[in-house]
Chains A and B, each alone.
Chain A
Amino acid sequence: MMDFLTVLSDALRGAVGVEAIVYVMAAIGLNLHFGYAGLLNFGQVGFMLVGMYGVAISVGTFELPLWVGLLVGIGLAVVLALLLGIPTLRLRSDYLAISTIAAGEILRLTFGSRVFEDITGGVYGLQGIAQEFRDANPLPDMTYGVPGVLAFTHRDAWVLLVGWLVVALLLVVSWLLIHSPWGRVVKGIREDEDAVRSLGKNVYLYKMQVLVLGGVFGALAGAVWILHLGNVQHTYFMPIVTFMLWAGMILGGPGRILGPVLGMVILQFFLTGMDSLLREAIGSGVIPADTLSSSAVGSIRFVLVGVVLMALMVFRPQGILGSRKEMLVNVQR
């Protein structure tokens, strides 16, 4: 018999767990980029990388306090955004897209290379980064949640608590900014930057501000990730991470404050749930082992989730929270 409670438990864990938090935070940044300003950032994973390595190198290699590492991570994200934005934000949006996807890969390969092994740990990465954070855990050592359905150790609960609080903070910051004259200009730039320019707004500056802010959100996602894992390796930062963020954002509805949260949580729910479901099915003989081996589950679940995503886009192309009315507006003349 298949154990559906286990499947549900795994899916829920995926939906609210630390990985979901990390993806949600990075997707909130991406939503600022694409959903509000129309910036095509295909290298959000690069911002997560500098956030994560900023903490890891400061703490691991240079033995600095954790808060310094956080500032370094944020600072690196600002620098990366400026490096990407200064040459490309005056040009058509495609140039940012090309630069960001390349920058993500360049960063991953550079941080994993032997040349900088003394600093980055090369292919081995850096370990033992989260100790200071774990020592600061005020939660008593017990199990949190509903035993058997969704339970976390006090260490995980501490990361979840901090993580979701940071998510809430990022949402508040986004909401305040978007529902202000600043946000109005940014949305105007998404629609037609020449029109906004003709009305006396410094479009380049606004685009730069959005790129930096969304990038910093990505770096914070990386920082939360390392607080959970305690280690970092360059292999975490494959381009697929960025595309998962895009999928989650589009699923939830770009240009909606809660869009990336809902989309990412649902996507994680389905991904982990599907994984667990397939394994259960194979384990209990519902799916014969010679039809699907458990080693193929990892890729098959992506196929199945892809089908779900496609169906959703057919029936609700504006995303879960998106407005159909808004999407049907004739963007052309």
Chain B
Amino acid sequence: MSNDDGTAGRGAAEGGADEAVSAPELPAEPRISVDLTGVAAEPGVAKPDPILVADGVRRQFGGLTAVDVAHLEVPRGSITALIGPNGAGKSTFFNLLTGFDRPNAGSWTFQGERASGVPAYRVARRGMVRTFQLTKALTRLTVLDNMLLAAPKQSGEGMLGAFWRPGWRRQERENLERAESLLRRFKLYDKRADFAGTLSGGQRKLLEMARALMVDPALVMLDEPMAGVNPALVQSLLEHVTALRDREGKTVLFVEHDMDVVMGISDWVVVLAQGKVIAEGRPDDIRSDAAVIDAYLGTHHGAPAEEGSGG
């Protein structure tokens, strides 16, 4: 297992991932490593093998420009964090990329194909699946139904196909197996028959992540996965996020406020402020970036607080 940037936080996260491997049905696959060593820490820098490339994406609400990203590449097989002060446009950018909002200008490609102007459901089918800042569990469906619903290309999903039971029974069994193994991994198996609305906030985050995996995406986009989660659960959630990269070779792009989390698990950090990418780089680059410190604390400040919290 190569450790290309060798940050201490990353090492700890991987240790955590090993703990989660205790679930017997999951083989520990070698992680698909991403080599970002030669990449310069500057906004809009080109990266080897980007899965997502955005160009000139702008979204205005009246006179306010919420997002104005000139160029951004997300490297495949990495965990990329999107951070920035409140109102920086992180969630808006997420909504744009996933088809939940339309930009005023700009385009982006996903896996080399144009993905701008594509409706949200098609974005998901192409392998770019998001979660939400305010968790969207389908509350009056069971946990298991939440999972099964997400399985792609079901023949019983069509109105006519639904009537032909022999046509979808087998597929349903296969999906059930996959759903149950994911639920075991996310420690929700015992809850499978319960309504999703009975889960705690942290469990809903887990369910949302597991549900996103049912779609079998190449890029998982997590909007504040740790928000509103009991601190005791944060570590477990972190392990699940790193496992996405390390065990399944997924690319993860996530928005997060918690600097410990961001610095601990990210391969690459992108900083948005007032809609623009003001900095990007490895966690260590970002910690010492003057523009980032300015954006968070204002131009006139004393000792940068991130020094302490970024640990």
List residues of chain A with CB under 8 Å of any chain B CB. 176-177, 180-185, 187-188, 190-192, 194-203, 209, 213, 325-326, 329-331, 333
Number of A-B contacts (CB under 8 A): 116
Name the B residues within 8 Å of A191 (CB-CB): 138-141
How many Å from the CB of A222 to the closest CB on chain B?
23
Shortest CB distance B253–A (Å):
14
**Cβ contact within 8 Å between B132 and A195:** yes
Contact indicator A182/B124 (Cβ below 8 Å): no
Chain B residues contacting A184 (CB-CB under 8 Å) are 141, 145, 148-149
List of 3 A-B pairs having minimum Cβ-Cβ separation, nearest first? A329-B197, A180-B162, A195-B136
Within the complex, the shortest CB–CB distance from B169 to chain A, in Å, comes to 10
Q: Which residues of A contact B157 (CB under 8 A)?
A: 181-182, 185, 201
Q: Which residue of A lies closest to B214 (CB)?
A: A199
Whether B141 and A197, one on each chain, are in contact in the complex, defined by CB atoms closer than 8 angstroms, is: no
Chain A binding site: helix, strand, loop or mixed by DSSP? helix
* Contact-residue bracket for chain B: 35 or more
Known: A181-B162, A195-B132. A200 touches B201 (CB 8 A): no
Q: Is B11 an interface residue (CB 8 A)?
A: no
B1 at the interface (CB under 8 A from A): no
Q: Would B162 and A194 count as touching, CB distance under 8 A? A: no
Interface contacts beyond A199-B212, A326-B140: sample of 20 additional A-B pairs, CB < 8 Å, sorted by A: A181-B172, A182-B156, A182-B158, A182-B159, A184-B141, A191-B138, A191-B140, A192-B137, A192-B138, A192-B139, A194-B100, A194-B136, A196-B138, A198-B130, A199-B124, A199-B150, A199-B211, A202-B121, A331-B197, A333-B201
Q: Let me know if B132 and A181 touch, CB within 8 A.
A: no
Q: Point out the residues of chain A lying under 8 angstroms from B137, CB to CB.
A: 192, 195
Could you tell me if A197 and B124 are in contact, using CB atoms closer than 8 angstroms?
A: yes
> B111 interface residue, CB < 8 Å from A?
no
Pairwise interchain contact B215-A177, C-beta atoms closer than 8 A: no
Q: Which of A197, A209, A326, A330 contacts B120 (CB 8 A)?
A: A197
Known interface pairs A194-B100, A333-B201; A176-B162 also in contact (CB < 8 Å):
yes
Residues on A with beta carbons closer than 8 Å to the beta carbon of B152: 200
